[in-house]
């Protein structure tokens, strides 16, 4: 199972990123779980410079915006 992290303070953009990521991972048939990381120290430790961000496997996959569903699917397929 792949753990996908949504990193951000819990704002509306963070929620939207979580929703888009969840929908795309589900549509791709992935075996995954989503973890929301809101602790600023954990976000900084992960190397995130702009929120919201999505990470998996210790790597930041995207940060600073909410990508479209098509773009998020490409990100997930390329990196996971």
Q: What angle do CA 60, 28, 78 make, to 5 degrees?
A: 40
7, 14, 37, 76: which one is catalytic? Answer: 14
Q: Is 24 noted as a catalytic residue in this protein?
A: no
Measured from the Cβ of residue 12, the count of other Cβ atoms closer than 10 Å reads 9
11, 23, 28, 44: which one is catalytic? Answer: 11
List, in sequence order, every residue forming a beta bridge with 34; answer none if it has no partner: 4
Residues in the chain, total:
80
Of 26, 7, 10, 6, which is closest to residue 69 (Cα–Cα)?
26
Indicate which residues carry an active-site annotation.
11, 14
């Amino acid at each position: 199972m792949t753990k996908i992290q949504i990193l951000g303070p819990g704002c509306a953009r963070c929620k939207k990123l979580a929703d888009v990521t969840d929908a795309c991972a589900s549509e791709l048939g992935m075996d995954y779980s989503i973890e929301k990381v809101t602790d600023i120290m954990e976000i900084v430790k992960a190397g995130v410079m702009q929120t919201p961000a999505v990470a998996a496997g210790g790597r930041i996959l995207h940060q600073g915006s909410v990508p479209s569903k098509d773009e998020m699917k490409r990100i997930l397929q390329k990196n996971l």
